[in-house]
Each structure stands twice: as C-alpha cells, then as structure tokens.
Amino acid sequence: MLGKVLMLSVLLAGVHSPDALASRSADADRGGDGPTAGQAEGVLLAQAGDVEIFYDGNGNRVIIDAYTGEVIAVQPPRRVRPMNRQALRRALRERELDREERYYLDDPEDMERLRRRKLGDYRLLPPPVDEYDYPDAAREPFVDEFPPAPGRRALPELREEPRVVEREPLEEAPADPSAPGDTIVVDPVTPPPMSFTAREDVAGIQVLMDRTGASPGVIDGKFGSNVDKAFDAYREITGTSLRSTDSAGIKAALAASGGDPFTTYTITAADAAGPFVAAVPADYSRKAELENLSFTSVLEMLAEKFHMDETYLKALNPEANFSRPGTIIRVANVGAPATRKVQRIVADKGRKQVRAYDEAGKLVTAYPATIGSTETPSPTGTHTVSRVAFNPNYTYNPKVNFKQGNNDKILTIPPGPNGPVGSIWIALDKPTYGVHGTPDPSKIGKTESHGCVRLTNWDAQELAKLVSPGVTVEFVE
C-alpha cells in the first residue's frame, strides 16, 4: 500500500511539473512514442481556458488557440500493446460505440461529450442527438466553451467584505429649467456598447466571409471547419489570401466591403408581433396538425435575419428584451445577397460544402452543407435542378422517405422556417432529393442528413434566387 501511495505521489508531481511537460514536448519533437499506459493523459498549459482541445479522425489530440484558431500542438494517440482476447473484445466494443455515437470536430457540445467519453465517464453522458429532421427537439443546455482541463481544480471565488459607501445627495433639476412645476424625465433608449472582444474578432472574420459569398454558416464567434472552408472560398472568389491572424488585412477588407462587422438594430412592432408558435413538436403527426411552422420567438427570428447563432446573439445583448419594440440590439452587419446567376453547382461530400459557379466557371458563392450520411447516402454523379419552391409544404411518406417515430401514414407538414426542409426546396431530377434549408442552422456541416443537401435557410434562399431549372448539380466525393 505504501508503494502505491509513493508511486501516485510521483506521478502527480510529474503531472504538475513544468519540467516534466517540457521533457514530454522535447521527446515528442524527437519522434518519441508519446505517453505510455502509466503516464497521465492530461494536457497542461500555462493559460487555462485559452485553448480548445479536439480529436481528429486519426485519434490525435489537437490543441488549438481559442483566439487565433492556430494549431498549437498535435499529440498522437498512445501505442497500444498487443491485447489478449478480453482486451480485444473491449476494444471492439468501444469501436462499435464510436460508430453509434458520432462527434464533430467543430461542434463544442459534441467535443465536450467526446472529451468526457475519453475520460471514461460513461454514466454521465446523454446519448448524442441526431439532429436531422428533428429540429424541434428540446435544445441542449448551453455548455461552457472552456471547461476546466482534466485534473484541474476551479479557482475559489474571491469574496470581499461588504462595504458601506456614503454618497452625497443628488441635486435634481428639471430637464427644461424654464418649465414651471415638476418635470418627469424619461431616459432615452441607448444602444449597447460597441467594444470588441477576442470572440467578436472571430465573428468579424465570419461577417467578412459572409459578405463576399464565402458563407461561414452561422456567425457565432467560433473558429471551426466551416470558417476554414470559408477562407478557401474567399481566396478563390476574391483572389486575395487572408490569414486569421492578419488583423490589419481583415480590418481593411471589412472596411472595403461594408464597414464595421457589427451594427445596431431597433426591434420593431412588426418583429414583436410575429406570428410565432409556442413550440414545434418533434413528432411529424403533431407537426401536421399546425397551421404553420413559424419561428418560436423574436430572438430566433432575428438570429436568422442576421445569419447568427441564437446563443451568440443573446450573449451580445445580455440585457436586451427581444420582445419589446424599440429595444436596440447589436447584430452582425451582413452584406447583400449575391446576384450573379449560377450555371453549375458542386456538392462536395468530403468537404461538406456546396459551391456555385457562373457561366464562365468562376465561383459565385460557397456554403457549408450537410450532404447525406453513411446509412442514407446522397445521390452520385450529375443531376439537374427541376424546380424551386419558396416556403414549401413537406410531404412525409414513410414508404418513400425514412421512418420517423411511429408514423406510418403519409403526412403533409405545413410550411415555415421550422419545417423539416426549412424555408426552401430546390428539387433535383432524382425524385425525393433536393437542396433545402434547415430549422437548425448551427448544426450545418456537423451532423448528417437523410440523403439531401442541407444549407442554412438564408444560404438556401440566396442560392434559390441564383438558379433556375436545368442548372447542373454535380455530386463529388
């Protein structure tokens, strides 16, 4: 027992020692084998909370600077010693679990579940949610973007003794000294402060990409694969190379494309009036009973209007009452939709992106997309657009489509942005397949679909106005 205590003390000392960390980094640079089974898997960094940790498809641990998006380090998985039959069965079971539960590198909520899964805490993990065509399922609670690293303790709160501050009485004066009697002064509604944070700098990059037609999906102030794809498309559209760390170049490009990345917006009476639905049920038979699958709140409506993530819009305006006309809020200063007609569309399955080209073969727009899945793959080869429908109904046929819940009858789902195909349906010449919107824009490029091509509603609306029947749609791996 004493030997085990001593060994645990040595390991803990090694984990908390900067020299030990430096030694491991040096070994990794020399091509070492990485941590062994007896070493701790925790990653120690000087600045806790300033990094994000992901896992790539090869099992490598990828450490990314939360502010710049640059890769700090890539740690290969530890080598696995030859396994006996029991260990082999356990490994096969874990592989089956990995196939059952999909995680996505640029989804913070998925990565939090994966991180906890890797630590072995299976009992606390809720099963992952397949977001396709269940847009109205209860949203998951907000997850802190920078949870404490494994093995770290949260810092105790600093408490100050209460102080009594004596203030001088205020001298009140009427707003108009010439006016007799008492005067009631109403404070004018003032816009929120316009100071920028590091996360807002990332949102500024997303706004720039959005303005040029290189859509980053939702504007949420987070780096991820959708932003990386947008940078590549921006380079092809503009012929200009930009890096996420080139703050001067980004500011100049923002100024040239429309000014500051944020602006203010005053909520109108029409905004607050709706119409809205109290809730959108998950079951398709209950969806079919509604008159319209409208937005559920002013917040959701304005987030889509300004191409933003709802949580991020709320975080920008923590004190705002979104249901009150006259409220001034900060929003993304997005650009006008593209107008150049499209002659060819490429749905890139590997890149999870849709690219639209004009008659001369130049890239017009690019959108992050969800394209099919392993179980229900998207079409292959080249097809054409057959028709375009704005704000469409959705016909559910379990014999033709997929099986949703216990529904075994044909249902007509009413239109609306919270419908199964969002607010747009671009039908292909292959029956039941098309390019459409989604009620869950934050999941685009991060989950799977039932064979179709999903875009955010605003990206689908832009593309729908650029295409016409006969435009080719090429599916590439």
Q: Cβ of 79: how many Cβ atoms within 10 Å?
A: 10
Rounded distance between C-alpha atoms, residue 392 and residue 70, angstroms: 42
Burial code of 246-281, b = ≥16 C-beta within 10 A, e = fewer? eeeebeebbeebbeebbbebebeeebbeeebbeebe
What the block records as the tokens of 46 is 């000087």
User: For residue 264, what are the β-bridge partners?
Assistant: 330
- Given the residues 307, 383, 450, 452, select the one marked as catalytic: 452
Helix 198-212 to helix 225-238 angle (10° resolution) is: 40
What the block records as the tokens of 440 is 């869950």
Rounded distance between C-alpha atoms, residue 260 and residue 379, angstroms: 41
What one-letter code names the amino acid at 99? R
Rounded distance between C-alpha atoms, residue 67 and residue 145, angstroms: 12
- Given the residues 307, 383, 436, 450, select the one marked as catalytic: 436
Task: Please give the C-alpha separations between residue 453 and each of 278, 401, 438, in angstroms, as whole numbers.
Answer: 28, 15, 10
Q: Which residue has the tokens 């907000």?
A: 142
For strand 453-454 and strand 262-266, is the pairing parallel, antiparallel, or unpaired?
unpaired
146-153 contact pairs (CB < 8 A, 24+): 146/48, 146/49, 146/50, 146/52, 146/66, 147/112, 147/115, 148/48, 149/42, 149/43, 149/44, 149/45, 149/48, 149/53, 150/41, 150/42, 150/43, 150/119, 151/15, 151/40, 151/42, 152/48
Active site residue 450: no
Largest CA distance in the chain: 94
Rounded distance between C-alpha atoms, residue 43 and residue 26, angstroms: 15
Instruction: List for the chain the helix, strand, coil content (%; round to 5).
Output: 25, 15, 55
Active site residue 452: yes
What one-letter code names the amino acid at 381? G
Residue 107: name the closest of 97, 99, 115, 96 by CA.
115
Helix 198-212 to helix 247-257 angle (10° resolution) is: 50
Residues labelled as active-site residues: 436, 452
